[in-house]
Amino acid sequence: MRTALALGRQALGTTWPNPAVGCVLVAANGLVAAHGVTGAGGRPHAETQALAQVGNRAPGGTAYVTLEPCAHDGATPSCARKLAEAGIGRVVVGARDPDPRTDGAGAALLADAGVRVTHGPHEDDARRLHAGHLCRVRLGRPQVTLKLAASLDGQIATAAGTSQWLTGPLARQHAHLLRARHDAILVGAGTVLRDDPELTCRLPGLADRSPVRVVMIGAETPLPSGRLVATLGNAPLWLLVTAARRPDTRELQAAGAQVVEVAADSRGRPSLGPALATLGARGLTSVLVEGGQAIATALLWHRQVDALVWYGTDAVVGGDGLAAVGALGRTALAETTDFRTVRARRLGPDHVRFLERAP
């Protein structure tokens, strides 16, 4: 199961609108016979890929799959049916698939065909791997991960606005890997104006793993120009705009950007809830929010952040810098415990902490 989870993890960011499933087939003699991962864009499914390697014959074997095999037949039979027809003896499932077409029906189909089905081990890791898919199926929106790079005292820029070299090269490379593993990156137009980012993955060998770049256009913020537009050929660019700003985007649309219209909030900006729902409807299962302060604060205010990746440095910037998170109006300590750290590691002089929403 750990191998299957690792396989799935490698495909994160490439399989949307589908989950990145990993599958390992072990033959009756106890040897690993095949590996499979969900294909780019979501098809073929992991089990199909693995079964193809053994000619769809696995008598008495065991399949380890990170997600319950699908139960819906389409152009090809469901994975649950294919596994049963291949003569598999046992299927070990990581996480149950809440997709209404499966949701227990995959396991039931297998059991009815005489296949032994067991759940776990590593169910927590399987849920973590498929958090985006689970979120999209249950809540209709992608999983939202907020990335912040801040000083010891929680500042993301100095009083002069300097921020780009706060973290060292290892932390920056790690952040690029994070991009590769998400379906999309989300930023506000203010960040684009200030930093002129490319928002692509530029790690050697992973250049084709750049996610969809999504920019939230405010009531008055200028439209993206510069590097985001210059790299339109390298990765998709989606603009979230209200109806009022839509006419302004014609030129960018002609240049290849996709324009996504969203209802306005009281300040004339794309409304956050509907914006995330629209991204979910378009198939995105995970978005990495890369700042700045305004979008981070808005998402935390609306409690729409599922996970946090915090890059910390040893720098002390001082309160005259720019805080990672703006005012939230929280007064009671009980209101402040949104997250808990699940993992941490050093990255040269910096460190990274992974936090999940507290239960």
From 354, 355, 322, select the one nearest 164 (Cα to Cα): 322
DSSP letters of 14-45? TSTTS---EEEEE-TTSSEEEEEEPPGGG-S-
81 binds Zn ion (CB under 5 A): no
- The first and second tokens of residue 349, run together, are 């002089």
Q: Residues binding Zn ion: what is the number (CB under 5 A)? A: 3
Stretch in the footprint of Zn ion (CB under 5 A) among 45-53, 157-165, 197-205, 208-216:
45-53
Q: Could you say whether residue 133 binds Zn ion (CB under 5 A)? A: no
Q: Does 70 bind Zn ion (CB under 5 A)?
A: yes
Of 110 and 166, nearer to ligand AOF (C-beta) is 110
Question: At 342, which amino acid appears?
Answer: V
Identified binder of Zn ion from the candidate list 5, 15, 18, 45, rule CB under 5 A: 45
- Burial class of residue 154 in the structure, from the number of CB atoms within 10 Å of its CB (0-12 exposed, 13-18 middle, 19+ buried): middle
60 has which bridge partners? none
Residue 37, amino acid: V
| Cβ distance to ligand AOF smaller for residue 69 or 211 | 69
* 47 tagged catalytic: yes
3-state SS assignment for residue 79: helix
Per-residue x/- marks for ligand AOF, 23-62, CB under 6 A?
A: ---------------x---xx-xxx---------------
Terminal Cα-to-Cα distance of the chain (whole angstroms): 25
> Residue with structure tokens 């003569």?
87
User: Distance between CA atoms of 309 and 163, rounded to whole angstroms?
Assistant: 17
Size of the site for ligand AOF (CB under 6 A): 17
Q: Which among ligand AOF, Zn ion, none contacts residue 99 (Cβ within 5 to 8 A by kind)? A: ligand AOF
Task: Decide if residue 306 touches ligand AOF (CB under 6 A).
Answer: no
Q: Which does 306 bind (CB under 5 to 8 A by kind): ligand AOF, Zn ion, none?
A: none
What are the residues whose beta carbons fall under 8 Å from the beta carbon of 227, sequence distance 6 or more?
Answer: 196, 197, 198
69 touches ligand AOF by CB under 6 A: yes
- DSSP for residue 237: E
Name the one range near ligand AOF by CB under 6 A: 97-105, 148-156, 204-212, 283-291. 97-105
51 binding Zn ion? (CB under 5 A): no
Candidates 79, 91, 262, 317; binder of ligand AOF (CB under 6 A) is: 79
Of 95-103, 109-117, 294-302, 314-322, the segment contacting ligand AOF by CB under 6 A is 95-103
- By beta-carbon proximity to ligand AOF, the closer residue of 131 and 156 is 131
Does position 79 bind Zn ion by CB under 5 A?
yes
18 scored as a contact of ligand AOF (CB under 6 A): yes
116-119, strands of its sheet edge to edge: 32-37, 22-26, 62-67, 90-95, 116-119
**With respect to Zn ion, which residue has the nearer C-beta, 79 or 300?**
79
Active-site choice (47, 123, 198, 261): 47
3-state secondary structure of 243: helix
Write the single-letter amino acid at 84: A
- Residue count of the chain, please give it: 359
In the complex, least distance from residue 52 CB atom to Zn ion, rounded to whole angstroms: 13
Count other C-beta atoms under 10 Å from residue 43's C-beta.
Answer: 14
Asked if 94 touches ligand AOF (CB under 6 A), the answer is no
3-state SS of 149-216?
Answer: EECCCCEEECCCCCCCCCCCHHHHHHHHHHHHCCCEEEEEHHHHHHHCCCCCCCCCCCHHHCCEEEEE
Q: Is 214 helix (H, G, I), strand (E, B) or coil?
A: strand
List interacting residues with ligand AOF (CB under 6 A): 18-19, 21, 38, 42-43, 45-47, 67, 69-70, 74, 79, 97, 99, 102
List interacting residues with Zn ion (CB under 5 A): 45, 70, 79
Give the active site residues.
Answer: 47
